[in-house]
Amino acid sequence: MSLQVEITHPLPGFEVNVAFEAPGGVTALFGQSGAGKTTVINAVAGLLRPQAGCIALAGEVLYDAQKRVNLPVHRRRLGYVFQDGRLFPHLSVRRNLTYGQRFAPQGATGPGLDEVADLLGLSTMLDRRPGALSGGEKQRVAFGRALLARPRMLLMDEPLAALDAARKDEILPYLERLRDQTGLPILYVSHSVAEVARLATTVVVLEAGRVVRAGPAEQVLSDPAMVRQFGLREAGAVLPAEIARHHADGLTELAISGGRLFLPQMDQPEGARTRVRILAHDVIVADRAPEGLSALNVLPGAVLSLREGQGPGMIVQIQCGTDRLLARITRRSAEALRLAPGRSVYAVIKTVSIARTDVAAR
Amino acid sequence: MTGWLGPEEWQAVALSLRVSLWAVGLSLPLSILAAYALARWDFRGKQLLNGVIHLPLILPPVVTGYLLLLGFGRRGPLGGVLEEVFGLVLAFRWTGAALAAALMAFPLTVRAIRLAIEAVDPKLEQAAATLGASRAWVFLTVTLPLILPGVIAGAVLGFAKAMGEFGATITFVSNIPGQTQTLPLAIYTFLQVPGGDGAALRLVAVSVAVAMAALTVSEVLARRAAKRVAGG
């Protein structure tokens, strides 16, 4: 099931002109505010009619300007989770959740109310009114409501943006479960690198209405050319990993393609697959295996590319096993270490610099 | 009740209730449609429609009544058609009184409902559409429940206006006891005859009581609906 989007639509000051494909999994539409993300997702939903182009889901045309096809919103069957929840204030949580069920086609299958309430932790609040829920709870109901309409795909427009950090951390695990247990493709609009790093399997980067980069999340996030879009402080690689062992001293050992990583205690069982985000400014580069160092993680690798920024810093991309790490160091250090593509180096990462929120399920 | 009110007075009260209930009942769906069109749709002639709806509010009631007589009298263009096709006669009948009351109440009802519709966030309706609801379903399951307090308020306002309608009614359907003599017309008539003060006062008391009762019922209903809508 894949979504193909190719649209042109004028906005005040610039034009949205994008073409991309969203395969299964979570496709993140990333970009700064005003990049045209919401225009694109609304066009997919049918809430906005693009001037030109076409949109197709699994081969079925939803919109085609030339052939004059424009499937109405209610027949597209795309569950939309809005930033502002938009729960029906006059209905109980239960009736909000089941609102879309009566409109779903007979043969459509999907999880039932109990299952969804369980998945999203809503079982105890089914008879409450939306007015009596917290922001995080409301958003979880919105996820469930979209899911229970038996959609062919889920659309999410900055679903966590209106929540504070604590609420975000509370919801992210539910989103991961939604992604992993339902298998529904998700188009996820966000300007938060952390969310994208944690959830996305595919990333499409938008800038001023254009796609500047699209591809698998690991590749796009560890692309030095994308550092400007993600922001210096947020730039970093995402590595797939497997939980190897929980140690008695409170550390968890992860196996990654290029070696072992020691992280603060994680919840997942041994053998579970996960992903770790390592920020570029948390990585130290050494030209030989360091000794007498408190950092536990020393990964051997080779410099793949160097990219200069505008200031005194630069971004080094390091091949480490089959993965790529990003390191942000000063130009002075790069010269002192005589870094060049192909040179063997060691990436040094402090265990405690990897926050719990940087470790995701799968 | 009939012991307290004379048969003629009771007749006027019953007629007024019948006329007003029919007037509001029949015009309410149309009011909702007109209010929705004015609040949500963009079409040519919107300002004209708005003007026409509000005309009875601004015109002297006698003028409205006379225009009704011209249009819906037995020789009028619309009155003739109604009589031929449906066998419905409006002139000098209680049905005509109901039409006059409905027309006079219409702008008030539409205004109240329109304000309620404008207060509904279209984003909620969009959300319902993304969940698979067609336009009609969105209206029935989201818009209508949310504007219910406004609809109730509009209906009560219209009912009160219909109960009190005088000028258009007396001009269009005259003042026939038992047929078109509604409560205000009866009060007026009693005041014209010597010794009619007592009957007039009793009818005034009924008017006040009906108005207060309608207001109370609508308050309770609207409060209940508003509580539901607020999601409390």
- Same domain assignment for residues A143 and A274: no
Residue B112 lies in a domain: yes
- Same domain assignment for residues A261 and A151: no
Residue A103 lies in a domain: yes
- Same domain assignment for residues A247 and A210: no
- Same domain assignment for residues A141 and A60: yes
| Tens of pLDDT, residue by residue, chain A (362 residues) | 789 999 999 998 899 999 999 998 999 999 988 899 999 999 999 999 999 999 999 989 999 999 999 999 999 999 999 999 899 999 999 999 999 998 988 887 788 899 889 888 899 999 999 988 988 899 999 999 999 999 999 999 999 988 888 888 888 888 888 888 888 899 999 999 989 999 999 999 999 999 999 999 989 998 988 988 898 888 899 888 999 999 999 899 999 998 899 988 888 888 888 888 999 989 999 998 888 888 889 999 999 999 987 778 899 999 999 999 999 999 999 999 999 999 999 999 988 787 766 777 65
What's the CATH number where A146 sits? 3.40.50.300
- Same domain assignment for residues A211 and A242: no
Residue B28 lies in a domain: yes
Please state, in angstroms and rounded to a whole number, the distance separating the CA atoms of residues B198 and A74: 63
- Does residue B4 belong to the interface with chain A, where contact is any CB pair within 8 Å? no
Structural domain ending residue among the three candidates A181, A216, A251: A216
- As given in the structure block, the two tokens for residue A233 are 């402080």
Domain count, chain B: 1
Contact criterion met (CB < 8 Å) for A99 and B128: yes
Counting other chains too, the contacts that B63-69 makes at CB distance below 8 Å and 24 or more residues apart are B64/B100, B64/B103, B64/B104, B64/B167, B64/B168, B64/B171, B65/B100, B65/B167, B65/B168, B65/B169, B65/B170, B65/B171, B65/B172, B66/B171, B66/B172, B68/B96, B68/B99, B68/B100, B68/B103, B68/B168, B68/B171, B68/B172, B69/B171, B69/B172
Q: Do the Cβ atoms of A161 and A83 come closer than 8 Å? A: yes
Domain count, chain A: 2
The residue of A49, A71, A73 whose CB has the most chain B CBs within 10 angstroms, and thus the best one to mutate to test that interface, is A73
For residue A196, how many C-alpha atoms fall within 13 Å in the half-sphere facing its CB?
31
- Same domain assignment for residues A271 and A209: no
- Which H or E run includes A264? strand A259-264
- Does residue B124 belong to the interface with chain A, where contact is any CB pair within 8 Å? yes
Residue ranges making up the domain that contains A256: 236-361
- Which H or E run includes B32? helix B7-40
Task: State ipTM.
Answer: 0.84
- Same domain assignment for residues A296 and A194: no
Q: Do the Cβ atoms of A140 and A172 come closer than 8 Å? A: no
- Same domain assignment for residues A335 and A274: yes
- Same domain assignment for residues A132 and A42: yes
- Same domain assignment for residues A106 and A209: yes
Residue B159 lies in a domain: yes
Which of A93, A96, A49 has its CA nearest to residue A71? A49
Nearest Cα of chain B lies from the Cα of A122 at a distance, in angstroms, of: 17
What chain A residue is nearest to B147 in terms of C-alpha separation? A90
A295 CB-near residues (< 8 Å, 6+ apart): A284, A348, A349, A350, A351
Residue ranges making up the domain that contains B89: 7-230
Which of B115, B107, B120 has its CA nearest to residue B27? B107
Of A73, A84, A88, the CB nearest to B129: A73
- Same domain assignment for residues A242 and A299: yes
Handedness of CA A319, A321, A322, A323 (dihedral sign): negative
Residue A223 lies in a domain: no
What's the CATH number where B41 sits? 1.10.3720.10
- Does residue B134 belong to the interface with chain A, where contact is any CB pair within 8 Å? yes
List pLDDT tens digits, range B187-202: 999 999 998 899 999 9
Contact criterion met (CB < 8 Å) for B130 and A79: yes
Beta bridge partners of residue A300, listed in sequence order: A346
- Same domain assignment for residues A198 and A262: no
Of A45, A80, A130, the CB nearest to B231: A130
| Residues in chain A within 8 Å Cβ distance of B127 | 80, 82, 86, 88
Residue B2 lies in a domain: no
